[in-house]
Amino acid sequence: MVVEREGEPRGYATFRRTLDWQVTGPGGTVHVGEVVALDAAAARALWGVLLDLDLMSGTEPFLLPVDDPVTQLLVNPRAAGARTVDNVWVRLVDVPAALAGRRYQTDVDVTLAVTDARLPANDGVWRLQAGAFGDATCEPAQVPPSNADLALDVRELGAAYLGGTSLAALAAAGLVEELTPGTLAAASAAFGWPVAPGCGWVF
């Protein structure tokens, strides 16, 4: 299914239907594969069709990010019975390249004392500098780990890398240590991202 505006594609959805009929009436299911939209109007049009197909009593998306537009379009989100599953895993194998290769939500200038038991090249103190949504640099910092702003393991850095898990939440669980007072909130805001991470396929 494709939605268009003035002849130009604005989104598409893939789905299949399983027909079923109970004593109480139709009980078919719409199995949704992908829903991709370039704007809110396209998302609304796609989900409007998928949730209102004749003779269907349920719609089962395959995998959706936690902030998918349909979560805000539902009149009663609790009735959807949404559940969270693991489908995104991140393991940073080159910390400076990875941190320099992404964008940040706010200006950031922070030193990170990173520990990595498997890849010694990641182990050390790194200075991350970036402007909001601009280019970033990440270089070795010539300071001992005790003088860094934040201390964390590469596992927690991977968890925060895509912006779906905040450094502040990890710190509240005791997994990130704020060594320089006041730096955690700023770094946590910078690592955030407007769109939640998600993966629409299984490998």
Reported as a single tens digit per residue, the pLDDT across 10-41 is 999 999 999 998 888 888 999 999 999 999 99
Give residue 203's pLDDT: 66
pLDDT single digits (tens) 74-100: 888 888 888 888 878 899 999 999 999
- Mean pLDDT across the chain: 93
For the chain, give every domain's residue range: 2-80, 95-191
- The model carries a pTM of 0.80
When pLDDT is averaged across residues 101-106 and rounded to a whole number, the result is: 97
| Rounded-to-integer distance, Cα 60 and Cα 44, Å | 17
Model confidence pLDDT, tens digit, residues 54-75 = 999 889 998 888 888 888 888 8
Q: Beta 136-140 vs 150-153: how paired, if at all? A: unpaired
Structurally, what CATH architecture does the domain formed by 95-191 represent? 2-Layer Sandwich (3.30)
> Does the pLDDT at position 163 exceed 90?
yes
pLDDT at residue 49 tops 70: yes
